[in-house]
Amino acid sequence: MTSAETPESTPGAVLDDLVPSWLSLEEAAERLGTSPNRIRQWAAERQLIAVRTPASRAPRVPAECLVDAAVVKGLAGLLTLLLDAGFDDLEAAVWIFTPDDTLPGRPVDALREDRGREVRRRAQALAF
């Protein structure tokens, strides 16, 4: 945390405000029909996002990153683009869950509605 950041303005605190529902790694694994270790592996490979925030010492998965028994289509590619643009996992999660009036909605909503092309275009533009 920099001297200009307060605990309430850190990316983790912001993310706690933006994400309405979280899953533990065990809950995400149950929903996806796999093991918590596989969820950790997917997070490490940027196939899924799992982050620690001030509200939890353990990594958690935003529930909206899952649809039925699968990871939201396009999430892995979007995470790769954001990391290529210099975002860390926490900053990427904040970007994915921050409302964008021009989208409209949040990038995660666009992915869930199969509007990933526009989200990817915006993420690509961040690198320039």
Specify the pLDDT at position 128.
Answer: 67
Specify the pLDDT at position 65.
Answer: 98
Q: Is residue 111 part of a domain?
A: yes
Specify the pLDDT at position 3.
Answer: 43
Q: Is residue 1 part of a domain?
A: no
Specify the pLDDT at position 2.
Answer: 43
Q: Is residue 2 part of a domain?
A: no
Specify the pLDDT at position 51.
Answer: 96
CA–CA separation, 53 and 56 (whole Å): 5
Q: Is residue 39 part of a domain?
A: yes
Helix axis angle, 89-97 relative to 75-84, nearest 10°?
Answer: 120
Specify the pLDDT at position 8.
Answer: 55
Q: Is residue 14 part of a domain?
A: yes
Domain total in the chain: 1
Q: Is residue 104 part of a domain?
A: yes
Q: What is the pTM of this model?
A: 0.88
State the CB neighbour count (10 A cutoff) for residue 88: 12
pLDDT tens, the chain, 128 aa long:
444 444 456 878 899 999 999 999 999 999 999 999 999 999 999 999 999 999 999 999 999 999 999 999 999 999 999 999 999 999 999 999 999 988 989 999 999 999 999 999 999 988 76
Q: What does each C-alpha distance from 108 to 4, 5, 35, 103, 114 come to in angstroms?
A: 29, 26, 24, 11, 10
Residue 55's domain spans which residues? Answer: 7-126
β-strands 51-53, 66-67 pairing:
unpaired
Specify the pLDDT at position 12.
Answer: 83
